[in-house]
Amino acid sequence: MIQKLHIQNYAIIDVLSIDFSGRMNVITGETGAGKSILMGALSLILGDRADTAVLLEKDKKCYVEGTFTLAGAAVMAFLKDNDLDAEEEIVIRREIAPSGKSRAFINDTPVNLEQLRKLSSQLVDLHRQFDTLELGESDFQREVLDALAGQAVLLDKYQTVYRNWQAAGRELAKLQEQKAQFNKEIDYNKFLFDELNDAGLRTGELEELDQELKLLSNSEGIKTALSKIYYDLKEGEQPMVQQLKTLQHSLQHFSSFHPELPILSERMQSVQIELQDIAGEVERINDHINYDPRKIEEINERLSMGYKLLKKHGVQTTAELLALRDQLADKLRASLNVDESIAAREKEVALLQADAKKQALVLSKNRQAQATPLEEQVNKLLRQVGMPNARLKVQLHATELQAAGMDAIEFLFDANKSNRFEPIRKVASGGELSRLMLCIKSLVAETIDLPTLIFDEIDTGISGEAARQVGVILKNLSRKRQVICITHQPQIAGKADAHYFVFKDAKGKHIKTSVRLLTQDERITAIAQMLGGEKPTAAALENAREMVMN
């Protein structure tokens, strides 16, 4: 629940603090005194958008701060999931700078508006006059039945299965689309694969053939060069190997006469041996090189085929062609395997759908079970709040599986016992909607963990006994929930545990809104003024005293 609300520099509020009771809080005051301004400020910490128009003094920052007691498991889970401190109190602060920049904080940690809204929806239910429009929305009507049926856990379980079913269905659709694409491309892909596969290329083959062709094409020149080298080294009139051997022997004869001559002699011997080895290598290579026109023709044909494939597929190497072949093979295998994948996914989708439908039927059964009791309880409360001829009727019919089950839910309304039930959104007036919403929320509040209910002028259009009964309902609500109610009705104000009076106060040249908690005597006077005007009679005062005491 909300313990304290502090407002500074907002609209016509300079500085204002309110400490709320944990039960029924009533806020009254003259029209225009600023009661709804309080709700506007509270809306800021509940996630509403704001602009600089709310600044009382345009050069100063506005801020609104609410202190809440730590609520249930959902709030704890939110704080944990968002890395926020879970302390005994939750302090929510909203600041609006003169520049228009807005910032929000939860326990002094900056958060965005979406986080603020999610948390506040677990802490406060703010009902305004225009909020009754949601009463005509199917989601709200379904939520009412689910809350009364206490099937939040069942709904979460169903929605998990439903999401899995939807995801599996999307995967199935992708596979079916993939199959259709495969069917379009399979013939062409098979042709490309067969062409590459029939070519029988091995890794690096085209590059090796290109090198071999260059060798064969230049074989005669190479053999001529090698033959000349071998001849000059070993078989000429004066072979280099023999000349070097002779020279080395001539030097070796004088080796003992100079210390460096043996070294030179050894070096010459090494060179002679190396040249002799080179001559052998030249002879061996020369013997293996032969000009072969038929081989050249075969290589040219093979290269021609390979170059056409390279050009066709826009690649540069044999490796890229082989990689392309493997990719095409994978596609062909995938096209053959996709039917198996589709069959497996279809089975999964069918099982998930059956599970979702089974769970949806349980949800539907529980909603059906709550429809008649809801009608009876709401109609009883409608009579209590001054609408004896009004009746609510809950209509359910089956639909296809949806995110919340397989029910279309419509709340129908007949205000005058005409037996012509129409959707609420079409026939109920604003005052009727307000009282109907109060009746429904008073029932739902028993089953949901929502610590604070706020009603902003929900008593519009009623008075007398109807207003007293609205007060009774609000009082009963406050036994288990904190209730904050802005009202013009003395019958409702008399039920308060804490009564706050909003008034305008002249401070210098400015009129500003202030709030104070009334004492018992002040409450009696304020309620008497609501009954009989600015100067209440003794009868009005006695009537007010009776309202407060009872």
Tens digits of per-residue pLDDT, 445-484? 777 666 788 887 777 777 788 888 888 888 988 888 889 8
- Give the model's pLDDT for residue 132: 46
Q: Is 380 exposed, middle or buried (0-12, 13-18, 19+ CB in 10 A)?
A: exposed
- Give the model's pLDDT for residue 13: 83
* Maximum CA extent, the chain: 154
Q: Are strands 2-10 and 89-96 parallel, antiparallel or unpaired?
A: unpaired
Please say if the pLDDT value at position 218 is more than 70: yes
- Where is average pLDDT lowest: 97-106, 230-239, 456-465? 456-465
CATH topology of domain 1-128+457-518: Rossmann fold (3.40.50)
- Where is average pLDDT lowest: 54-63, 181-190, 202-211? 181-190
Compute CA 469 distance to the chain's CA centroid, rounded to the nearest angstrom: 44
- 549 — pLDDT class (breaks 50, 70, 90): confident
Hey, where are the domains in the chain? Answer: 1-128+457-518, 177-337
- Give the model's pLDDT for residue 71: 63
What average pLDDT does the chain have?
Answer: 85
Q: Is 382 exposed, middle or buried (0-12, 13-18, 19+ CB in 10 A)?
A: buried
What does the DSSP 8-state code read for residue 456?
E
Tens digits of per-residue pLDDT, 35-79? 778 888 888 888 888 777 778 778 788 889 999 886 677 788 888
Over residues 474-502, the mean pLDDT reads 89
Tens digits of per-residue pLDDT, 396-447? 999 999 999 999 999 998 988 888 888 887 776 666 777 788 888 888 877 7
Q: Is 253 helix (H, G, I), strand (E, B) or coil?
A: coil
**C-alpha R_g of the chain:** 47
Tens digits of per-residue pLDDT, 291-347? 778 888 888 888 888 889 888 889 889 899 899 998 888 877 777 778 888 999 999
Identify any residues that bridge with 94 across adjacent strands, giving them in sequence order.
64, 104
Task: Spell out the SS3 assignment of 343-377.
Answer: HHHHHHHHHHHHHHHHHHHHHHHHHHHHHHHHHHH
Cα angle: 31, vertex 33, 36; to 5 degrees = 80
Compute CA 397 distance to the chain's CA centroid, rounded to the nearest angstrom: 32
Nearest residue to 310 (alpha-carbon basis) of 331, 325, 327, 326: 325
